[in-house]
Amino acid sequence: MEQVWCKVDEYITDKLIPTDDVLEQALSKNKQAGLPEIDVSPAQGKMLYLLAKTKGARRILEIGTLGGYSTIWLARALEEDGELITLEAVSQHVEIAQQNINRAGLAERVTILQGKALDTLPQLKERDTLPFDLIFIDADKPNNPNYLKWALDFSKKGTVIIADNVVRNGSVIHAADQDERVKGTREFFDLLKQEPRIEATAIQTVGEKGYDGFVYGIVK
Ligand code: SAH
Ligand code: DHB
Ligand code: MG
């Protein structure tokens, strides 16, 4: 089946996602630098962009920048005077992402904060960017429950919270799995279930990035 998923992704990309030098160059620069190819796919990137547009987002928070591929999609959706803050732990990723973002002409709207997100998130309290309109969680999966708590603190009524990679080939249903990523994802779902401040769903996806899924939630 995986081959069909990839072919269909190619078909969708060909029909609906115009060739884009900036985004393609970002991916090739990432590859050249040896970054893992775990960015969102073009179709997913455009979905993030459309969701941010639907929301009319002025302030976006991203946790997990990598080379800035999803960052560029999201930042392009910002309303005029909007801004995006993205958090990344690995200095090499920050460097590559900054170059990709500069090339995209988005340097003024995007700020990358280097450091472990659990260290940089508290710093956001001192900025005048709170609350966010949209928060994209896409970093180390064991910390997803912590990221959700921070995201809720940085939200207002109507804030959209999206979390990537919540299905991971179906591993999410393996209760006895000792993998910290699986445990983190399951705790994330448990927290969503009991958390009165958010209504959420999760959608399974297939495509060039395999079989996975994302959580979409709105803060009450
Ligand atoms: N959002 C990107 C992909 C992010 S991959 C895209 O779709 O294009 C996950 C990123 O999270 C990696 O770059 C990794 O270095 C970063 N990361 C891992 N642990 C982190 C942490 N504790 N704090 C911040 N970033 C972290
Ligand atoms: C991983 C992280 C991601 O954000 C992703 O989309 C795929 C894989 C990972 O840490 O393995
Ligand atoms: Mg991801």
pLDDT given at position 74: 99
The pTM is what?
0.98
> What is the number of the ligand closest to the CA of 136?
1
Query: Which own/partner contact pairs does 165-170 have at CB distance under 8 Å and 24+ positions apart?
Result: 165/138, 165/141, 165/212, 165/213, 165/214, 166/202, 166/212, 166/213, 166/214, 166/215, 167/202, 167/204, 167/205, 167/211, 167/212, 167/213, 168/212, 169/210, 169/211, 169/212, 170/211
pLDDT given at position 32: 98
Residue 197 is encoded by which pair of tokens?
A: 């401040």
User: Cα of 139 to ligand 2 centre, how many Å?
Assistant: 7
pLDDT single digits (tens) 88-127: 999 999 999 999 999 999 999 999 999 999 999 999 998 8
pLDDT given at position 129: 84
Ligand 1: residue of 44, 61, 90, 92 to mutate (most ligand atoms within 8 A of CB) is: 90
pLDDT single digits (tens) 31-64: 999 999 999 999 999 999 999 999 999 999 999 9
152 lines ligand 1 (CB under 6 A): no
Nearest CA to ligand 1 atom 9: 139
pLDDT given at position 1: 83
Domain layout of the chain by residue ranges: 1-219
The domain 1-219 having CATH identifier 3.40.50.1470: the answer here is: no
What average pLDDT does the structure give for the chain?
97
pLDDT given at position 178: 95
181 lines ligand 1 (CB under 6 A): no
